[in-house]
C-alpha cells in the first residue's frame, strides 16, 4: 500500500431471487475480476447470496442452508484470492434470524456483522423476518457469539485490520444503519476504522438518489473516513420495489466513484488512508473512542497504478458555473474583511501600490468592492504607481487606466531618484543588478505608500498572495508589509481567475484593461526592460510555474503529504504538461524555499482567510523559522529512485 492508497470497490452482481447457487457463481466471478484489478476490499450488496426480496422464504430452512452452502462454496473458490470481500446472507443464531454481512479473506470468514437497525416502515418489513442485534451477544460474551462451523464471531462492533498496515482498518454497517440518528459507523470510526463498508438494499424512488448520495458523502466527511456503499440492483424482485444498484465510494466528503443507476458491474476507487489519518490528527474535535476489538488478516501490499484523478489546480473549481459562483463569493469575502477593518478603525482612506500586475489589480478590485459595501467615495482609494528602472510602458499605462476606470485617486511618483540616492548612501552600483539592486526598489515603494497613508490618515492595502508567501517571493519589509493583506490566502492560480471574473462582469473599457493585465507576464519589474521595451524579468522563469507550486502548496499544507507522494500524484495531474524532471526540479525548489522563508511568514500582516489553506502564524500555519528541510529532501530522494 504505497503512499497510503488502497483500491476499494463496489460490486453489483446480477442475481436470481432465492437461487443461492447462481448468485454464488456470479459473486465468485466478480471477486476474481476485482482481484485481477489489484483491489484490496470489495463490497457486495446486502443479502446478495439470497437476494434481498425473498420475503417469507427467509424463514425457510432450505433457503438458510442454501445460503450457508453458497458461502462455503464462495470461500473454497476464493481461497487463493488475497483480497477482503463482504457478502450478505441471512444467518441463524439461537433460533433467531439476523441480516448479516460476512467479511471474508483467503477462504475464511473473518467475522459476521449483523444489521443493527431493522426497518419496518413504508415498503420495508424486515422485522417480520430479522431480529436486531442490539446486545453484545445472546450468551453475554464480549466478542459476540462464536460460530464454530466458520471459526468466526458474530457481533456488530468489530473491526478488521491488515496486520502489516494498521491504517487499513475497516468496519461494517448495513443499509438502514446509515439512515438512523446514531449509525454504528460512528463508534467504528472512533474505534479506529478508516473505512466503513455498507452493503445495502435501498430501493429507488424519485429524489432518493440525491438524498442517499448526501448521506454517504456527509458520513464520510463527519467521520474522516472512506465510505463504500454497495446497493443491490437488477434481479431483485420488482413485485413492489425497483432497485437501481446505486453504489458509490466516498472519501472525507468527496465522491470518488459512483455507478450509473440501473447498471451492474464493479466500480473502483483508490482511497487515501494516509490523508484520512492526517485529517483525524489535524481535527482536534475528532474524538477517538476506545479501540474496537478487531480481527487481523495478512495481505501482501499491492503496487497500484493509481486509478484516481488529481486536479492540476486544486484551488480552482473545474466547472465553469461553479467557478463563477466561487469567484463572486471569494471577492465578497475579501471585501467584507477589509470593510470590517475600515469600519472598525473609522478609516475612509486606503493606499495601494498599483503596478499594473495581477496581484495589485486584485487588491484594487477588492478595495473597490469594500468601499461600495460601506457606501464610501472611491476617491478615498489612493492608487500609487511608482515607476523605476524595470517599469514598462504597458504595466504603467494599465495601472493608470485601471485607477481611472474604477474612479480611484491616482498618484504617479517616479522613485528612480530616491533609489539612486539610496544607492549612493550604501555604496551600491547601479550597474550591479543583484538582490540589493532589486530590493532597494521594493522597499522604497513600500516607504512611499506607508508615508502617504500616514499623511492622508489611511492604511496600506497589501497585495501579496498565498503563493508568494509560501515561496518567500517578497522583499522583507518591502512588498512583504502592509496594514491589511487582502490577498494573503489567495493562491496565484486563483488570482488569475478572480481578475478574469471581474473582467467578465465589467463594462467594456474596464474589461479591456483587465484582460490586458491577464495577458501580461508575471513580473516584479525590478530589472531593466529588454531592448524592445518589454518585460525582461519573468517570475516563473526564476521560481518556477505557479501552477506547480500551488499544487505543491495544497498537498503540503492542506493534506500533509510526503514529498515523494506529492511527486507521484503531480506526475498524474500534469501528465503531458510537464515532464518528470521538471516536476522534480521545482518540487525540490519548493521544499527549500518553503522551509527557508518561514521567517517572512512569521510576521505577516492581518488578512482574511478565504479558503482551507492559509499561512497566517495566528491561524492555520505555525512553523518555526529555524526548521530544517533535510528530512523532507531525504524522503523525496529515497522514495523516488
By annotation, the residues acting in catalysis are: 46, 115, 175
Closest CA to 468 of 386, 407, 553: 553
**How would you class 641 by CB atoms within 10 Å of its CB: exposed for 0-12, middle for 13-18, buried for 19 or more?**
exposed
Instruction: Please list the helix, strand and coil fractions of the chain in percent, rounded to the nearest 5, in that order.
Output: 40, 15, 40
Residues 501-510: contacts with CB within 8 Å, 24+ apart? 501/323, 501/324, 501/327, 501/328, 501/331, 502/331, 502/365, 504/324, 509/401, 509/405, 510/402, 510/405, 510/406
Q: Which residue has the cell 522563469?
A: 541
Listing DSSP states for 480-544 in one string gives T--SEETTTT--HHHHHHHHHHHHHHS-HHHHHHHHHHHTSPP----SPPPTTSS----HHHHH-
C-alpha distances in Å from residue 10, one per residue of 7, 227, 263, 308, 346: 11, 11, 12, 16, 59
Contacts of 600 (CB under 8 A, 6+ apart): 469, 472, 474, 476, 480
**Main-chain phi, psi angles of 186, to 5 degrees:** -60, -50
Q: Kindly compute the dihedral angle of the four CA atoms of residues 441, 444, 450, 456, in this order, to the nearest 10 degrees.
A: -110
**Strand ranges in 264-380 using DSSP code E only, listed in sequence order:** 265-272, 294-297, 350-353
C-alpha cell at position 311 = 486536479
The answer to whether 125 and 166 have CB atoms below 8 angstroms apart is no
DSSP 260: P
Cα–Cα distance for residue pair 536/419, rounded to 1 Å:
20
C-alpha distances in Å from residue 38, one per residue of 249, 266, 300, 311, 528: 16, 13, 11, 23, 57
C-alpha distances in Å from residue 50, one per residue of 59, 67, 72, 87, 126: 12, 6, 14, 10, 14
* 41-43 sheet: strands from edge to edge: 145-147, 152-154, 108-114, 96-105, 84-93, 41-43, 5-12, 265-272
C-alpha cell at position 399 = 495601472
Cα–Cα distance for residue pair 590/555, rounded to 1 Å:
12
The answer to whether 444 and 415 have CB atoms below 8 angstroms apart is yes
CA R_g for the chain:
31
Cα–Cα distance for residue pair 428/422, rounded to 1 Å:
8
DSSP 116: S
Contacts of 166 (CB under 8 A, 6+ apart): none
The answer to whether 57 and 83 have CB atoms below 8 angstroms apart is no
**Rounded to an integer, what is the distance from CA 504 to the centroid of its chain?**
28
Contacts of 99 (CB under 8 A, 6+ apart): 46, 47, 88, 90, 114, 115, 118, 126, 130, 174
End-to-end CA distance of the chain: 17
Listing DSSP states for 310-335 in one string gives --S-TTS-SSHHHHHHHHHHHHHHHH
Cα–Cα distance for residue pair 316/194, rounded to 1 Å:
28
Amino acid at each position: 500500500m504505497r503512499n497510503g492508497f488502497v483500491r476499494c470497490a463496489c460490486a453489483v452482481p446480477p442475481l436470481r431471487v432465492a437461487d443461492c447457487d447462481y448468485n454464488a457463481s456470479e459473486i465468485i466471478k466478480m471477486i476474481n475480476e476485482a482481484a485481477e484489478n489489484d483491489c484490496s476490499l470489495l463490497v457486495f450488496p446486502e443479502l446478495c447470496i439470497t437476494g434481498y426480496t425473498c420475503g417469507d422464504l427467509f424463514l425457510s430452512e432450505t433457503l438458510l442452508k442454501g445460503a450457508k452452502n453458497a458461502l462455503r462454496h464462495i470461500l473454497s473458490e476464493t481461497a487463493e484470492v488475497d483480497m477482503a470481500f463482504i457478502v450478505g446472507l441471512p444467518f441463524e443464531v439461537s433460533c433467531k434470524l439476523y441480516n448479516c454481512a460476512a467479511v471474508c479473506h483467503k477462504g475464511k470468514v473473518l467475522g459476521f456483522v449483523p444489521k443493527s437497525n431493522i426497518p419496518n416502515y413504508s415498503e420495508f418489513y424486515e422485522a417480520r423476518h430479522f431480529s436486531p442485534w442490539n446486545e453484545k451477544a445472546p450468551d453475554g460474551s464480549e466478542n459476540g457469539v462464536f460460530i464454530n462451523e466458520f471459526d468466526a464471531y458474530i457481533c456488530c462492533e468489530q473491526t478488521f485490520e491488515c496486520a502489516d498496515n494498521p491504517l487499513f482498518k475497516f468496519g461494517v454497517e448495513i443499509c438502514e444503519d446509515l439512515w438512523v440518528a446514531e449509525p454504528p459507523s460512528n463508534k467504528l470510526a472512533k474505534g479506529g476504522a478508516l473505512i466503513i463498508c455498507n452493503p445495502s438494499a435501498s430501493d429507488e424512488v424519485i429524489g432518493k438518489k440525491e438524498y442517499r448520495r448526501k448521506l454517504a458523502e456527509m458520513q464520510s466527511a463527519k467521520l474522516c473516513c472512506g465510505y463504500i456503499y454497495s446497493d443491490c440492483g437488477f434481479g431483485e424482485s420488482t413485485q413492489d420495489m425497483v432497485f437501481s444498484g446505486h453504489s458509490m465510494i466516498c472519501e472525507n466528503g468527496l465522491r470518488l466513484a459512483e455507478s450509473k443507476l440501473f447498471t451492474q458491474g464493479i466500480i473502483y476507487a483508490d482511497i487515501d488512508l494516509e490523508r484520512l489519518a492526517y485529517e483525524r490528527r489535524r481535527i482536534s474535535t475528532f474524538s477517538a473512542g476506545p479501540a474496537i476489538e478487531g480481527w487481523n488478516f495478512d495481505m501482501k501490499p499491492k503496487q497500484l497504478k493509481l486509478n484516481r484523478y488529481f486536479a492540476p489546480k486544486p484551488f480552482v473549481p473545474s466547472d465553469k458555473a461553479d467557478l463563477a459562483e466561487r469567484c463572486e463569493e471569494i471577492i465578497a469575502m475579501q471585501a467584507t474583511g477589509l470593510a470590517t477593518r475600515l469600519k472598525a478603525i473609522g478609516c475612509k482612506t486606503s493606499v495601494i501600490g498599483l503596478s499594473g500586475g495581477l496581484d495589485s489589480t486584485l487588491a484594487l478590485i477588492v478595495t473597490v468592492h469594500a468601499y461600495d459595501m460601506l457606501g464610501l467615495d472611491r476617491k478615498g482609494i489612493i492608487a500609487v504607481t511608482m515607476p523605476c528602472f524595470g517599469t514598462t510602458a504597458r504595466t504603467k499605462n494599465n495601472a493608470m487606466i485601471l485607477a481611472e476606470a474604477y474612479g480611484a485617486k491616482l498618484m504617479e511618483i517616479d522613485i528612480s531618484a530616491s533609489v539612486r540616492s539610496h544607492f549612493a548612501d550604501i555604496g551600491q552600483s547601479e550597474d550591479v543588478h543583484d538582490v540589493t539592486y532589486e530590493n532597494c526598489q521594493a522597499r522604497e515603494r513600500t516607504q512611499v505608500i506607508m508615508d502617504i497613508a500616514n499623511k492622508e490618515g489611511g492604511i496600506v492595502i497589501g497585495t501579496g498572495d498565498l503563493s508568494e508567501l509560501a515561496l518567500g517571493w517578497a522583499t522583507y519589509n518591502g512588498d512583504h508589509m502592509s496594514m491589511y493583506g487582502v490577498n494573503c490566502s489567495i493562491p496565484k492560480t486563483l488570482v488569475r481567475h478572480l481578475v478574469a471574473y471581474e473582467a467578465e462582469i465589467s463594462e467594456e473599457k474596464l474589461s479591456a484593461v483587465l484582460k490586458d493585465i491577464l495577458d501580461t507576464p508575471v513580473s516584479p519589474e525590478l530589472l531593466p526592460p529588454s531592448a524592445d521595451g518589454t518585460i525582461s524579468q519573468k517570475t516563473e522563469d526564476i521560481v518556477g510555474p505557479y501552477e506547480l507550486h500551488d499544487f505543491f502548496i495544497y498537498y503540503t499544507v492542506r493534506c500533509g503529504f510526503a514529498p515523494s507522494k506529492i511527486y507521484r500524484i503531480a506526475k498524474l495531474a500534469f501528465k503531458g504538461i510537464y515532464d518528470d524532471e521538471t516536476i522534480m526540479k521545482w518540487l525540490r525548489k519548493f521544499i527549500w524555499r518553503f522551509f527557508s522563508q518561514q521567517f517572512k511568514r512569521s510576521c505577516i500582516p492581518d488578512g482574511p482567510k478565504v479558503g482551507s489553506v492559509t499561512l497566517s502564524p495566528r491561524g492555520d500555519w505555525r512553523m518555526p523559522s529555524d526548521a530544517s528541510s533535510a528530512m523532507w529532501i531525504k524522503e523525496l530522494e529515497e522514495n523516488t529512485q
